[in-house]
Amino acid sequence: MKLIIDGIATEASCGERLLDIVRRIGLDSPELKKRPLAASIAGETFTLNYIPLREESGNAGQKVMLRRAMRAANGKVNLLRYDSARGNRVYERSMLFVFLLAMRKLYPKTRVRINYAVGAGLFATVGDGMKLAQQDIDRIKATMREIVDADLTLERKRVDIEDAINYFSADGQDDKVRLLRYRQFAYFDLYRQEDYVDYFYGEMAPSTGYVSVFDLQAQKGGLLLLRPSAENPNKPAKHVSLPRLSGVFSESEEWGGLMHCTVVADLNDMVLSGNVRTLIRVNEALHEKRFAMLADEIIDRGARAIVIAGPSSSGKTTSANRLCTQLRVHGKTPILVSLDNYYLNRELLKPGPDGTVDLEDIATIDVPQFQEDLTRLLRGEEVDLPVFDFIHQQRSKKGNPVRIDERTPLVIEGLHGLNPMLLPPAVDSKLIFRLYVSALTTLNLDDHNRVPTTYMRLLRRLVRDHETRGASVERTLSMWDSVRAGEEKWIFPFQEDADAIFNTTLIYEPAVLKKHIFPLLGAVQPESPYYDDARSIVKFLNYFVEADVEDEIPPTSILREFIGGNTFYR
């Protein structure tokens, strides 16, 4: 049977794995940067242990059959490497399996929790805050290396859901037991090595030998598992200390504990019992309290301008409005300014080498004009602020005259708010308060499976783009890689420079967003290049119980920015 793998035509034998074929045609490599980790077939991700052609029993005896996905793809296979989003996730899951297998060997009765990602690392806690010495870290690394060198096959086995529940119950993994009781299917897939069984809700590399690049570092309260470097995957990333971001994650975990909601099963239990309404009230109250504390800090500092920045769908606009409300409590009359109004006319923007314009580049902003306007405003002068006409993609001839004083602080919201290129060098930095907002979820599927922070923002954006812009799921997914690349370049490098970081995630929001997004995902067909992405979201949301509680969500909630009904926009 003829296959086309990364453009190379070859023949497949019955029972031959993709991995064997890849090696046979010379596409394998010892370097992680070049090494295939999995395969994309008809839009879906498959392990390289997948067998394209196998014998199946029928009425006429044994018959050689081409597998369903291979038929749908007409024999075409695209290999996934570390530089792709899907390949990256395959590697992370495989690395976690190796790490957790090592921990099982060294600390067989100790609970290990993968808490969240910070920078290039995954922060994990061991036991009840067990303090790990350097010799402990060295032992874990050495055991992981032994597992990698053993090159153990990572085979997935499908079992009855009750058998999986019974195993995890006997093993003391109550977090998985509770989650699986919400599973909507009668089967479950497991990965097993000796007496250790686990699962990571997606495909993994063919064997442990693929997890050749990693590092471990001791951290306060746990340890950091470092992934390969994005720039050079053949080497582990270097840890860059992010104390502000780590502090926000820690605070968010405390909030989750306070609300008795740290894993998806906790949230599901609350939805079914009706206690989710109390959860919403407490979560929204915590947000309001945090906005009030930010306003207090701004007033105590005497800041005259507050700049708010954050990645896509982080809730910047609602955060700006809610902060303005809290400043009014102090007797201020803040003026809200959007950096979007400083966009240059579209005809002035220069396309890149690929012929497209990067709309997230700071070069799209009239930085000199913004600096001049801010300087004059802080001197007490009246300034005619620009107004950008998005329909015609150019600046309107009529501006917005503004004058401020100590009672009228500026609240400036925009993508590049924290970029040092934006602020006038002559302005006293004490007059500027910099706020970074992002959705940093710490709600996990179970102890070993975190929910990536980008997932929450993507869910928000999918719903908002459909509700307010008429965009399909496929349209939003087609832009997401570009959006993420822009964030890595223009936003994340400056997040630690903020005076404060605010986590806009609402712990209950996946249960609410599910109702909005499920019908949209169902419209994505198997032939779509975004089918696998849509399926991944469906598989993720299948573990959540839908909550029909929108009457409980305040009209000024950050979630209202995405599902509608936000009174700030009336």
Q: What is the pLDDT of residues 365-421, one digit of tens each?
A: 999 999 999 999 999 999 999 999 888 888 888 888 999 988 999 999 998 999 999
pLDDT given for residue 57 in this prediction: 60
Per DSSP, the three-state class of 25 is: coil
The conformation of residue 383, written as its DSSP 8-state character, comes to E
Task: Tell whether the model's pLDDT for residue 61 goes beyond 70.
Answer: no
Tokens of residue 357, six digits? 């314009």
Domain spans of the chain?
2-81, 86-241, 245-339+410-569
Position 62 confidence tier, pLDDT thresholds 50, 70, 90 = low
pTM above 0.95, yes or no: no
pLDDT given for residue 376 in this prediction: 94
Cross-strand partners of 121: 118, 226
pLDDT tens per residue, range 69-125: 888 889 999 999 999 989 999 999 999 999 999 999 999 989 999 999 998 999 999
Task: Tell whether the model's pLDDT for residue 66 goes beyond 80.
Answer: no
- Only one residue has tokens 């085979």, namely 155
Q: 86-241 is classed in which CATH architecture?
A: 2-Layer Sandwich (3.30)
The more confidently predicted of residues 519 and 511 is 511
The conformation of residue 505, written as its DSSP 8-state character, comes to -
pLDDT given for residue 59 in this prediction: 57
Contact call for residues 403 and 383 (beta carbons, < 8 A): yes
Listed residue (286, 137, 298) closest to 224, CA to CA:
137
The rounded mean pLDDT for the chain is 91
Listed residue (197, 177, 217, 236) closest to 97, CA to CA:
197
Position 1 confidence tier, pLDDT thresholds 50, 70, 90 = confident
Residue 121, number of CB atoms within 10 A of its CB = 24
Query: What would the mean pLDDT of 251-278 be, rounded to a whole number?
Result: 94
Supply the CATH classification number for the domain 245-339+410-569: 3.40.50
pLDDT tens per residue, range 124-153: 999 987 889 999 999 999 999 999 999 999
Angstrom distance (rounded) from CA 300 to CA 37? 53
Residues 6+ apart with CB under 8 A from 403: 377, 380, 381, 382, 383
Kindly give the pairing relationship between strand 215-219 and strand 112-118.
Answer: unpaired
Exposure string over 397-428, b if 16+ CB within 10 A, otherwise e: eeeeebebeeeebbbbbbbbbbbeebbbeebe
- Only one residue has tokens 């329909």, namely 391
Contact call for residues 87 and 233 (beta carbons, < 8 A): no
Angstrom distance (rounded) from CA 385 to CA 456? 34
Residues 6+ apart with CB under 8 A from 494: 309, 418, 419, 420, 436
Position 351 confidence tier, pLDDT thresholds 50, 70, 90 = confident
- Only one residue has tokens 């599901």, namely 268
Angstrom distance (rounded) from CA 196 to CA 112? 14
Cross-strand partners of 433: 306
pLDDT given for residue 535 in this prediction: 87
- Only one residue has tokens 């997230």, namely 360
Cross-strand partners of 191: 156, 198
